[in-house]
Amino acid sequence: MKHLKKFNETTEVKSFKNTDEDIRMFFTDYTDDRPASLTIENGLVYDGQFITDTTYMKDPSKYRRAKLITLDVCDADGISTKGMGKCLTNLEVLQNLLSDIERFYAISGEDVNYSINTDYSGLEVKFITLGDVPKAEESQATKIDGYLQRLKEWIRKRGHKKQTINGNWLDMRFTKKGAPTMGYDYYVGDKLRKVGDGRLTLDNTTDESDRNLITIRNECWEDGLKFNISGGDNQVVLKLVKR
């Protein structure tokens, strides 16, 4: 089988034993007719869990690079079950899939880590392949800590004093008392989004507080980081993530 040959002949020096192209070639029997059925997400494994790729690593030696591979195998075509989606009617599909997963891990020489799920869309399998340990210089934890402290000080100077830093998160809480109609969280979140996505820049504001925030954002951006804003009622959460 041509995809097995390609899978074995990869000689490129890299963090993973097999590139995305190698993996796609291995599962070409599934993707020839369904090109979008296979996705590969690069991330990390930390403390036994697959997590989104990040440069916030206090101790990089405790992390491993990882790829989460998702393969949409086939459509469900059987009887629907309460809360579990549809059944499959072809056992051969599952038998072939298990055989291919077994061969994939045997060729890779890695520990088996996979899950199989069925829902209304059909049969889906997820499995993980591991790479190397990130180098110490790849961690930006110290820089991110510094940026979050500056952001915490920025929001404190605007009169909001309930902030907590947790890893690469800045959690900001706002009082309801005396808040404008939309709430402080709306206005602070809107400001952070406008600065984060570059709508508010040093060229279009003279407000000193805004300019301080923009300066922090620009320095983060130069370091390959961007603002990720979320939150809830009377809350805004800012996370620094890879851009």
Q: Which pLDDT score is estimated for 14?
A: 62
> What is the rounded CA–CA span in Å between residue 29 and residue 4?
11
* Amino acid identity at 195: V
Q: Which pLDDT score is estimated for 16?
A: 85
Please identify which residue in the block is written with the tokens 């040959």: 5
Q: Which pLDDT score is estimated for 82?
A: 77
* Amino acid identity at 29: D
Contacts for 184 with CB less than 8 Å, ≥ 6 apart? 160, 174, 175, 234
Taking the model in full, what pTM does it have? Answer: 0.80
Q: Which pLDDT score is estimated for 132?
A: 93
Q: Which pLDDT score is estimated for 2?
A: 43
Q: Which two tokens stand for residue 215?
A: 């300066």
* Amino acid identity at 8: N
Residue 135 buriedness (CB in 10 A; 0-12 / 13-18 / 19+): exposed
Q: What are phi and psi of 176, to 5 degrees?
A: -80, -25
Give yes or no for a contact between 52 and 66, defined as CB atoms under 8 angstroms apart: no
3-state class of 71 per DSSP?
strand
Low-confidence spans in the chain with pLDDT less than 50: 1-2, 4, 10-13
Burial call 175-207: b when 16+ CB within 10 Å, e when fewer: eeeeeeeebbbbebbebbbbbbeeebeeeeeee
> What is the rounded CA–CA span in Å between residue 175 and residue 161?
10
